[in-house]
A and B are shown apart, each in its own frame.
Chain A
Amino acid sequence: MKFLAWWLRHVAGDALARDILGDVAESGGGSARLAAIAMGVTLRRAREAFASIVPGRAVGADLRYAVRSLMRAKWYAATTIGVIALGMALATTVFAVVDGVLFKKLPYPDARHLYLVTGEWTSRPEAIVPPSWSDLAAWRAAIPEARFTIAVGGGRVSIDGGEPLRSVFVTSNFFDVIGQRPLLGGLGPDDFRAYAATEARPLVISYAAWQSRLGGDPAVIGRVVQGDNGQRSRIAGVLAPDFVFPIADGRFVPDAIGPEIEPANQVRNRDRAGSVFARTPATLSNDVFSARLQAATSALKQEFPKQPAERGLGPIDAATAKRIDIALGSSTRRMFLVAFGGAVVLVILACLNVAGLSATRIHDRRHELWLRRALGGGRGDVVRVLACEAAVVAGIGGALGLGGAAWLVRLAGAVLPANIVLFKTLSIDARVSAFTLCAVVVTAGLTTLWPVREAGAENIRSRLAGAGAVRRSRSRARFAMVATQVALGLIMAVSGVLVTGSLVKVWRQSPGYDPENTVFLELRARTKTDVPLNQEILDAMRAIPGVAAAGGSNGWFMSRAFGGTSFDEPAGAGEVPGHGIDDAGVTPGFLQASGLPLLAGRWPTDDELLNAESVIVVSEITARAYWPGRSAIGQVLMRKGRPFTVVGISAAARQLSLDTEPDGIIYFPIGVSAYPSLQTVFVRFADGVRPDLARLLAAIETPRFSAYAVRRAMTVQGALGDSVRNRKFQALVFSGFGVAAVVIVGVGVLGLVAMITARRTREMGVRVALGANPSSIVGLVVRQELTAVLAGIAAGGVVSWWTVGFVEAYLFKTPAHDPLLWSAAAAALLAVGLVGAIVPALRASRVDPVMALRVE
């Protein structure tokens, strides 16, 4: 009761509260009635207060009026809504991706104290080296308060005869250190002890594998499964659906995590341990942790110096502890920051554009706005009318942009490179929608503020200084508006043109072989295979109608994987460029199917290849590096004590990716290798025959060839494209920004000039009546706008000189200040600026003087 009385005094005032309390006491209503009255008074007071700030009825009427008004100004409405929709769609899409890369919290608790620890060799600073067990032992001894764990990747575990599970093996404290708990079960000390005692291997399988391979069985823990190689595994746990393995540069969710038993004596063990993760206590700062790691590494190096045989190998020379949030996506983080910056610039550009159009429209509506003021409307009423129209435009544009972003996000998901680390599903979720809403509110605010300021200033200035000052001021503002838009547009266009031009250069790189009409298959051997089986598979492919040649090798193709060679470097060899020399065991038909040009000598005969004879073909890079200034034909290379004679020299071929320079390579008969499994198969179709992937797959995926599984199947062109997916994605993002910016600038200039020219109808009519010809009218309008466009290009060029530094890292053999590409971007802006000025100018030049003089 006391509280209600106090509340009533607070909201209704002392006098009214006293009256009410008296009436309640008189009528005997008690506290229930007092509460009801207090509630009624509060609601009424709140409504009055709210109405004084945002008069609800007035806003509703203004919104309806704004819609009607926009329907009358269809050109203005379509332009502004279109510009905002375009900007919002791109900005929302970029934010949806960026949110998953940069802003979404890592799925590891207290990630600031979780580190990826890597090593370096001073002789090869570019290489990231997994530390050795001896390094790890030294760190554990030097920093006992930190917890270290090891993960070894690249394993495959068969559980049911199906596709083996991609597995990572971890030491016993892995889940404790990273802080992510499995959904079910886990790997405890007992599991490690049992595995060490040669029992079935315990596995924590991924949520997806649990669902797809084991039917999501809740009683799966403890089930023992048998793989096709006879190995037994026990399901010890199931990973959470959002589990992400904390490995650098890659959204990697292994199908299974198994135990890795640490060696007993680690102090002198120089084998690579694997990826090392460390969790430090909150009291240990990053700098101190790194310094202590480095000190321990240096001490170990002094205690056990590197042996001559360990040149380029052995213990690491330096240790680096990277915070996990920095280590994950370290190569993509910068690109996404730049992309996000681009999205922000695009939204600003859209705001400027719409603000310019709104300012012009407000000028056209000045009579209506003055009338409102004359009828007693305050400045706030005028602002409300304009804000309502801006809100309608931004709201519709934002909604359309969100719809467009839903489609673009699906497209982004399809082209997103596999090495992008996303910590959430790519979709338009609540966070992304909230971003769009904020962007819409900011757009509505920005597109209202400047025009309102202009409108307000016009009222005062027009009375004080006369129309001339206003016209000059408005003309300067319009000049600045157009020039700023063009400048921002040029910044975006230059980035887009450079990155796209760079991709074109990548695409023009010759792979070294003929990719036309050829299919590439990446196989994986489930069991040990042999040369006769390889021949059977290749014969099955050759039997398909339209196949001209089929051949394979045990080397990687377009996988950014470099294996090195088992052939000894000959005496007197020069410097080997690139990564070094690789080798590949090949089958008959490889040369014909891959289209690899032979420069000198001959290709081994089919018999030589099938019988694993001692003949090899080297690429021209190998020939130059191994026998500089001499002919490679007839030279001998040793492999495990066996001499091989060079019979031919092939052209250099890109093996790793389309944007990586060719490395030297040695081709030898596949039967020479202890593991003659096909890794890569090329199938060339005859000219005019469309490659039939389905028939190829049907020919391989039979019980007869069950020793092989197909990992990838695509055209060689497709594989080349796949190898530069990062560049394609970057080009898509930056060219999208560039095109959007040019369109926005074009539409903005067109709209602005059209509205201004329409306002000058009377002036144009007078000019025509006084004898001006159409070309002079066009020239007058274009000249005025062209000055602003050229000023914008100049300003944009100066700023771009600095901003291209942000995209320089993504360019391939393309100078950041390439004059041709810069000219193309400037020409695009100049062209849209010219079109934007010429179209309304032509319309103005056809004005009928009689009709024009009746205007206003």
Chain B
Amino acid sequence: MVLLAVLQAGKHPDGAYGITVFDELADRTQRRASRGAVYMTLDRLEKKGLLRSSLTEPLAERGGRARRCYELTKPARAALRESQRALQSLWAGVEL
């Protein structure tokens, strides 16, 4: 879910970083996740090699700190595609 949120937040002009990823998750799932949990998940996904990050220039509105923007790595995209296929396959022919 966080990977998809990063993908969606990537369309944002400022890119996918903590605030935008959290907002995407909150808007689309209509649930309020713990901000701390989101940061920890982003950190863990990066360590697992599913995300990579880059720092922007230091910004005044951030107290002189840079933004850490995330984007999906190749394996993450492959995993998302696999997951999408599996879900579509499961939904095929199902009427509720």
Contact = CB atoms under 8 A, between A and B. Distances in A.
A44 B37 contact: yes
Given A37-B36, A41-B39, A41-B40, A21 B68 contact: no
Interface string A502-523: 0000000000000000000000
Nearest to A19: B68
Kindly name the residue among A12, A41, A42 whose own CB sees the greatest number of chain B CB atoms within 10 A.
Answer: A41
Interface string A209-248: 0000000000000000000000000000000000000000
Interface in A30-80: 33, 36-45
Given A19-B68, A23-B17, A41-B36, A12 B43 contact: yes
A60 B13 CA distance: 46
Nearest to A43: B36
Interface residues of B, number: 18
A106 to B, nearest CB: 52
B39 A36 contact: no
Interface in B9-64: 17-19, 34-37, 39-40, 43, 59, 61-63
Contact of B43 (A16, A26, A27, A37): A16
A15 B63 CA distance: 15
A15 B34 CA distance: 19
A26 B62 contact: yes
A42 to B, nearest CB: 7
B39 A20 contact: yes
A36 B65 contact: no
B67 interface: yes
A12 B40 contact: yes
A20 B40 contact: no
A26 B39 contact: no
B61 A40 contact: no
B67 A22 contact: yes
A511 B38 CA distance: 87
Contacts of B67: 19, 22
A39 B36 contact: yes
Contacts of A12: 39-40, 43
A122 B61 CA distance: 97
Contacts of B63: 21-22, 25
B66 interface: yes
Contact of B19 (A13, A27, A40): A27
A25 B65 contact: yes
B58 to A, nearest CB: 9
Nearest to A44: B40
B36 A26 contact: no
A431 interface: no
A538 to B, nearest CB: 89
Nearest to A23: B18
Given A25-B62, A26-B62, A16 B36 contact: no
A705 to B, nearest CB: 84
A22 B59 CA distance: 9
Contacts of A16: 39-40, 43
B39 A19 contact: yes
Nearest to A16: B43
A41 B37 CA distance: 6
Contacts of A39: 36
Nearest to A34: B35
A40 B37 contact: yes
B40 A45 contact: yes
A36 B38 CA distance: 12
Contact of A33 (B35, B39, B43): B35
A846 interface: no
Nearest to B36: A40
A42 B36 contact: yes
A36 B61 contact: no
B66 to A, nearest CB: 7
B69 to A, nearest CB: 10
Interface string B61-82: 1110111100000000000000
Given A33-B35, A36-B35, A40-B35, A26 B19 contact: yes
A22 B53 CA distance: 15
A48 B67 CA distance: 26
Nearest to B65: A22
A20 B18 contact: yes
A18 interface: yes
B87 to A, nearest CB: 24
Contacts of B18: 19-20, 23
A29 to B, nearest CB: 9
A37 B19 contact: no
Contacts of B43: 12-13, 16
B26 to A, nearest CB: 12
Contacts of A23: 17-19, 62
A69 B67 CA distance: 54
A12 B18 CA distance: 14
B74 to A, nearest CB: 23
A524 to B, nearest CB: 77
B31 to A, nearest CB: 14
A27 B67 CA distance: 12
B34 A40 contact: yes
Contacts of B66: 22
A48 to B, nearest CB: 8
B59 to A, nearest CB: 8
Contacts of B35: 33, 36-37, 40
A13 B39 CA distance: 12
A845 B39 CA distance: 68
Contacts of B61: 25-26
A401 B63 CA distance: 64
Nearest to B61: A26
A1 to B, nearest CB: 11
Contacts of B68: 15, 19
Contacts of A38: 36
Nearest to B40: A44
A144 B65 CA distance: 78
10 contacts: A15-B68, A19-B67, A22-B67, A25-B62, A25-B63, A26-B19, A37-B39, A40-B40, A42-B36, A44-B34
Q: Which 7 A-B pairs have the closest CB atoms?
A: A40-B36, A22-B65, A40-B34, A41-B36, A22-B62, A23-B18, A25-B63
Given A23-B17, A23-B19, 10 more contacts: A12-B43, A19-B65, A22-B65, A25-B61, A27-B19, A33-B35, A37-B35, A39-B36, A41-B39, A42-B36
